[in-house]
């Protein structure tokens, strides 16, 4: 397995101005021969409305079944933070994050739930996955209730 080249972990990194500039890094999975689920939850995710420039808020839940690589969590945190000044519709932002993780870590499977707080009085929840989950993978509920004043 190739070596991970970490440029952020253990270093002072100020963050990135945009998702395109952000670097998402991976590390070797020491349990690559095991089928399991890893979860990242970002309860205070923000981006900007592409029309009004006003902030949008979401709770992201990212579940993935790693294969040879794991997502390095500091780089993921900095990547997600790069959306604070990025304008994008809820659907585009949620799916772009899922696709970026898949591109980086090449997992067996991934799903992302973007639970967005209301815009114009309507909450928009966005769900995306790479396909059917592997047989035998335990999939816990993402733990976010339908909108009732989250």
9 domain residue, yes or no:
no
8 domain residue, yes or no:
no
Which pLDDT band, with edges at 50, 70 and 90, does 110 fall under?
Answer: very high
- In this prediction, residue 9 carries a pLDDT of 61
Segment 73-81 shows an average pLDDT of: 96
On the 0-12 / 13-18 / 19+ scale of CB atoms within 10 A, 84 is: middle
Q: Which residues are catalytic?
A: 49, 56
Q: Give the C-alpha distances (Å, rounded to integers) separating 29 from 41, 66, 90, 106, 112.
A: 20, 7, 31, 11, 20
In the structure encoding, which two tokens stand for residue 62, read together?
């990212």
- Is the predicted pLDDT of residue 1 greater than 60, yes or no? no
- Mean pLDDT across the chain: 91
Q: Phi, psi (5° rounding) for residue 103? A: -60, -35
Which pLDDT band, with edges at 50, 70 and 90, does 4 fall under?
Answer: low
Q: Containing domain of residue 110, as a range?
A: 26-129
Q: What does pTM read for this prediction?
A: 0.91
16 domain residue, yes or no:
no
- Angle at alpha carbon of residue 75, lines to 48 and 94, rounded to 5°: 40
Per the document, the length of the chain is: 150
DSSP H or E segment with residue 128? strand 125-129
- In this prediction, residue 149 carries a pLDDT of 60
Segment 108-126 shows an average pLDDT of: 93
Q: How many domains does the chain have?
A: 1
Q: In this prediction, what percent of the chain has a pLDDT beyond 70?
A: 91
In the structure encoding, which two tokens stand for residue 143, read together?
């733990």
């Amino acid at each position: 397995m190739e070596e991970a080249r970490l440029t952020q972990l253990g270093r002072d990194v100020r963050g990135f101005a945009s998702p395109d500039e952000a670097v998402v890094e991976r590390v070797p999975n020491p349990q690559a021969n095991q089928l399991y689920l890893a979860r990242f939850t970002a309860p205070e995710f923000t981006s900007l409305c592409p029309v009004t420039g006003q902030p949008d808020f979401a709770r992201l839940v990212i579940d993935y079944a790693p294969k040879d690589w794991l997502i390095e969590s500091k780089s993921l945190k900095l990547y997600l933070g790069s959306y604070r000044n990025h304008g994008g519709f809820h659907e585009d932002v949620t799916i772009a994050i899922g696709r970026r993780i898949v591109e980086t870590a090449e997992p067996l499977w991934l799903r992302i739930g973007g639970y967005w707080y209301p815009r114009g009085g309507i909450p928009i929840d966005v769900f995306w996955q790479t396909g059917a989950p592997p047989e035998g993978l335990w999939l816990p509920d993402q733990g976010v209730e339908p909108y009732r004043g989250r």
